[in-house]
């Protein structure tokens, strides 16, 4: 079969790699000048910056298998300091939960809050065989009946919700817990209590090493934005600046907003799915900070009560983004702060974020050197109440309609591990449909 993949993010590249492996003739078309999408990296003033993905987890089984297959296993390393924390009242409260018991040791909230949180995590043992965090379609739709914020406030109280549940979701998804399905929380808690070890990993040097290695083994055309995808007879026609070409199948591995524009005549199921798919926005501002004052933390969650602008900070030193004198700090914005600032200049964004960073951590005053600004209008999919069930139904009826396959983390497949699994699932689906 001749297959085109639109989008060289990690989901599209994985799908293409598995399809090629199965003997199909595959071409990947990417709008940007480089592959990787939200997993791309770049070099700025000699410093490596991860534009999106900053860390990987012990539990990324399929990602790790891919890394090994591509010969990158020596680059996979554990983030050693592992120190992380939650900001409360201008103080960093140490918190890098490796298992449910670590929650009881967290000094950022009262003992009562910790116990309520621990009980809720422990209860998730119940779901251990029924839920899969990297495929939210797995398991009972009844768990998709309430949002995470309402669920958490009722079961764990305001303190645990504000400083742990909402804060975690904001740091890693940029939007609040009110937009997230409770099924997400239960699946994440089940992963934590059954497999423990929330050890963080990275790829030595830069995250883009994985998409780069995949792209090197594929036929990828960068700087080739596709303008439309439409079913024509037994094939699928794809238009780009290079003209129109017809393929046996097309994998649309873009964000949902881009897919909505590409599909000229979606099937009812594709239209319905894409109409409801939404994403959070964020901006990542990278600064250079003197190593002497940077501190040895790796990641900070900033609850919305503490800052309405910054939701997280990542110190990139242990990933090698340092020249010994200065290191890279990447600062992430809450959806609420990012959405209306996407069109602001780099300078304005760095000023706003730098000022807020100094308010939160006065010791950085006079030490922040703006390095790079990356805007993400579609940063992370919203796995909202109802959408999780809708996507699950789509996998059963609608996926692959008219030879057009949708692929990406928004199809109930969170983060890099989810995107890799989605790529593999789509490749297997195309093979099976044939």
Among 5, 17, 26, 38, binds ligand FAD (CB under 6 A): 38
Q: How many residues bind ligand FAD (CB under 6 A)?
A: 36
15 forms part of the interface with ligand FAD (CB under 6 A) = no
Q: Which residue lies nearer to ligand FAD by CB, 270 or 282?
A: 282
Binding track, positions 390-409, relative to ligand FAD; x by CB under 6 A: ------------------xx
The CA distance from 246 to 422, in Å, is 24
Stretch that binds ligand FAD, among 26-34, 66-74, 107-115, 125-133 (CB under 6 A): 26-34
Dihedral angle over CA of 426, 430, 431, 434, nearest 10? 170
Q: How many CA atoms lie within 13 A of 74 on its CB side?
A: 1
* The pair of three-digit structure tokens given for residue 45, joined into one six-digit string: 């003033």
Q: Which helix H or strand E contains 247, and what residues bound it?
A: strand 243-247
Contacts of ligand FAD in 276-295 (CB under 6 A): 282, 284
Angle between helix 209-216 and 10-21 (nearest 10): 30
**Residue 236 class from Cβ within 10 Å (0-12 exposed, 13-18 middle, 19+ buried)?**
buried
Name the residue nearer to ligand FAD (CB basis): 109 or 430: 430
Q: Residue 47 or 133: which CB sits closer to ligand FAD? A: 133
CA–CA dist 374, 172 (Å, integer): 16
Single out the residue of 32, 194, 239, 278 in contact with ligand FAD (rule: CB under 6 A): 32
CA distance 205 to 200: 15
Sequential DSSP letters for 364-404: GTT--EEEEEEEEEEEEE---TTHHHHHHHHHHTTTTGGGE
What is the end-to-end Cα distance of the chain in Å, rounded? Answer: 9
Using rule CB under 6 A, residue 353 touches ligand FAD: no
Of 99 and 223, nearer to ligand FAD (C-beta) is: 223
Among 18, 24, 54, 334, binds ligand FAD (CB under 6 A): 54
Rule CB under 6 A: say whether 181 interacts with ligand FAD.
Answer: no
Minimum distance from CB of 274 to ligand FAD (Å)? 13
> Smaller CB distance to ligand FAD: residue 113 or 408?
408
Quick check: 171 binds ligand FAD (CB under 6 A)?
no
User: Binding to ligand FAD by residue 10, rule CB under 6 A?
Assistant: yes
Residue 429 in tokens = 């689906």
Using CB under 6 A as the binding rule, whether residue 37 contacts ligand FAD is answered as yes
In whole angstroms, give the CA distance from residue 319 to residue 365. Answer: 24
Sheet containing strand 310-315, strands side by side:
91-94, 84-88, 299-301, 310-315, 326-333, 279-290, 369-381
Q: Does 379 bind ligand FAD (CB under 6 A)?
A: yes
Pick the closer one to ligand FAD by CB: 190 or 407: 407
Pick from 3, 4, 19, 29: which binds ligand FAD (CB under 6 A)? 29
Catalog residues that contact ligand FAD under the rule CB under 6 A. Answer: 6-12, 29-32, 37-39, 52-56, 225-226, 253-255, 258, 262, 282, 284, 376, 379-380, 408-409, 415-416, 419
């Amino acid at each position: 079969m001749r297959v085109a993949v639109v989008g060289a993010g990690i989901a599209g590249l994985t799908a293409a790699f598995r399809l090629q492996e199965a003997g199909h003739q595959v071409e990947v078309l990417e709008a940007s000048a480089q592959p990787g999408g939200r997993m791309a990296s770049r070099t700025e003033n000699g410093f490596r910056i991860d534009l999106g993905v900053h860390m990987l987890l012990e539990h990324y089984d399929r990602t790790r298998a891919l890394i090994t297959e591509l010969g990158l296993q020596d680059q996979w390393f554990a983030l050693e300091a592992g120190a992380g924390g939650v900001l409360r009242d201008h103080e960093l409260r140490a918190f890098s939960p490796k298992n449910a018991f670590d929650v009881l040791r967290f000094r950022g909230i009262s003992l009562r809050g910790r116990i309520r949180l621990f009980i809720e995590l422990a209860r998730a043992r119940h779901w251990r065989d029924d839920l899969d965090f990297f495929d939210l379609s797995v398991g009972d739709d009844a768990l998709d009946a309430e949002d995470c914020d309402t669920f958490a406030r009722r079961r764990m109280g305001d303190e645990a919700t504000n400083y742990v549940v909402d804060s975690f979701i904001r740091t890693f998804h940029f939007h609040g817990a009110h937009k997230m399905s409770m099924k997400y929380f239960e699946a994440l808690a089940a992963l934590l209590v059954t497999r423990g070890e929330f050890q963080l990993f990275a790829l030595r040097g830069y995250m883009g090493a994985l998409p780069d290695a995949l792209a090197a083994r594929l036929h990828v055309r960068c700087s080739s934005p596709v303008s439309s995808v439409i079913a024509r007879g037994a094939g699928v026609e794809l238009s780009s600046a290079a003209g129109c070409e017809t393929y046996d199948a097309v994998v649309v591995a873009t964000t949902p907003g881009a897919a909505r524009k590409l599909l000229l005549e979606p099937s009812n199921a594709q239209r319905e799915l894409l109409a409801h798919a939404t994403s959070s926005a964020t901006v990542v501002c990278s600064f250079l900070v003197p190593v002497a004052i940077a501190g040895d933390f790796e990641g900070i969650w900033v609850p919305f009560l503490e800052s309405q602008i910054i939701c997280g900070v990542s110190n990139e030193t242990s990933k090698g983004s340092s020249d010994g004198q200065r290191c890279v700090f990447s600062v992430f914005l809450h959806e609420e702060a990012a959405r209306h600032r996407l069109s602001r200049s780099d300078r304005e964004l760095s000023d706003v974020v730098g000022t807020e960073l100094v308010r939160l951590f006065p010791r950085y005053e006079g030490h922040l050197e703006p390095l790079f600004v990356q805007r993400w209008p579609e940063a992370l999919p919203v796995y909202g109440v109802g959408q999780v069930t809708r996507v699950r139904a789509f996998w059963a009826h609608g996926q692959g309609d008219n030879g057009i396959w949708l692929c990406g983390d928004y199809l109930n497949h969170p983060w890099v591990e989810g995107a890799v699994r989605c790529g593999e699932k789509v490749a297997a689906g195309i093979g099976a449909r044939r």
